[in-house]
Amino acid sequence: MGRLWRGEFWRLVTLVAAGALFGWPFSAVVAGITVGLSLCLAFHLRQLHALYQWLTLRPQEEPPAASGLWGELFDRLYRYQKRQALTQQRLRATLQRIQESSEAMRDSVVMLDRHGDLEWWNSAAERMLGLKPQLDRGQHITNLLRDPRFVDYFHGRDYREPLTLPSPIDERLILQFQITLYGDDERLVMARDITRLHRLEQMRRDFVANVSHELRTPLTVLAGYLETYGDMADQLPPRLGRGLVQMKAQTERMQNLVNDLLLLSRLEIDQGGRDDAPLAMDELLHAVQSDAVALSDGRQSITVEVEESRALLGSEQEIRSALSNLTFNAVRYAGEGRHIVLRWRPHGAGACLEVADDGEGIDPVHLPRLTERFYRVDKGRSTATGGTGLGLAIVKHVLLRHDARLEIDSLPGRGATFRCLFPAERLRDTAAERAQRA
């Protein structure tokens, strides 16, 4: 490149010198130099015009013939143009493959820009969501999917969990929406048809609810007769008396299981209709403490700590059920001589309901599955203590209905802490409200 610049420099010097020599006999050296410079300028303007003509009118053709620095510039631009054309061709081919693969998917795929406007979608989105290429391109996604639950999900920007909704064009079609952020705050919306899974889940819920309900009556009758026979235990042979005690214990266990199944089914099916009211957490914690002390029968010490003055807005029956399940689990599994704490305290802008113990603890490998139905860390110990395996599943569903989540911290030998985290929207300062009314 330095050689080319030197060549252009000597070209300029040669033209200037030739102009000066040409004007010297006429006593017009300056005019001759001007002519030489003009010729040099005209040459470069001609090459610049050729470059402009080539780039704007004939970009696909060979570059203009030139030598020196201009020839090198033309060659470099031509090679760069070729590389760019090849890159664009590869990108177009890649984009075409992506679109073809997306078209082959059974799931809906919708690409949104950073403003939430529709850019592209596959044919499955047209079938499931009713999108029309001629009308909907450039429309905001919430103008077409107007369900308030989707609008809140979209603007909430918390896409860790999918959202299940009926299709906007066919309510019999159940879709699971999942949004992914990518690029410059752009979004990819995927919708999967889970109608069959939804129906199977509904059948399972109905089956469990119906069977549990049908079991209630025979178990009640059986428990009544066993209680009657138990009152006559002194008149029965010892072997028969021991059998009656075992039958009564197992009947009570079955009744507890049926009651938990019915409660869990109601929590799953009944998505609304909850009577929310400000709950006095101090009173609620002490009430559960009394029940836990009776269950513990002096084997553990159980205390209450209230550090949050705000009341929780929710269903007293459901919150008490969740707290009781966590507390009774601690009583059953912490071990004798342990200390159990029921705590209501602030947590960020919200509040936290904790049940902590210094017992045996739980191996972290079990923590992700603890809220599954019938999952037990130690099946033999759970059976001996009378647990149904549904307590934490009930806790999870109660918290979901109260916009809360469950966190579990535990290590073997270091106890366990179960935290129910409630958002600020679920809290109410009843003392301040009373002061304002006064």
Q: Please identify, among 163, 193, 223, the residue that sits at the C-terminal boundary of a domain.
A: 193
Q: Domain for residue 389, yes or no?
A: yes
**Residues 343, 362: one domain?**
yes
**Residues 89, 119: one domain?**
no
Side-chain half-sphere of 343: how many Cα atoms within 13 Å?
17
Q: Domain for residue 438, yes or no?
A: no
Flag the least confident range among 6-20, 222-236, 317-331, 407-421. 6-20
Distance CA 282, CA 40 (A): 95
> What does pTM read for this prediction?
0.59
| 3 state DSSP class of 61 | coil
Q: Domain for residue 80, yes or no?
A: yes
Q: Domain for residue 28, yes or no?
A: yes
Q: Domain for residue 251, yes or no?
A: yes
**Residues 79, 212: one domain?**
no
The mean pLDDT of 170-179, rounded to a whole number, is: 91
Three-class secondary structure assignment of 240-269: HHHHHHHHHHHHHHHHHHHHHHHHHHHHHH
Strand ranges across the sheet with 174-182? 118-121, 108-112, 186-193, 174-182, 163-166
Q: Is 136 exposed, middle or buried (0-12, 13-18, 19+ CB in 10 A)?
A: buried
Q: What is the mean pLDDT of the chain?
A: 80
- For residue 159, give both structure tokens: 């896409």
Q: Which of 87-91, 204-208, 223-227, 295-299 has the highest mean pLDDT?
A: 295-299
**pLDDT tens digits for 245-280?**
788 888 888 887 887 777 777 777 765 545 678 888
| 3 state DSSP class of 357 | strand
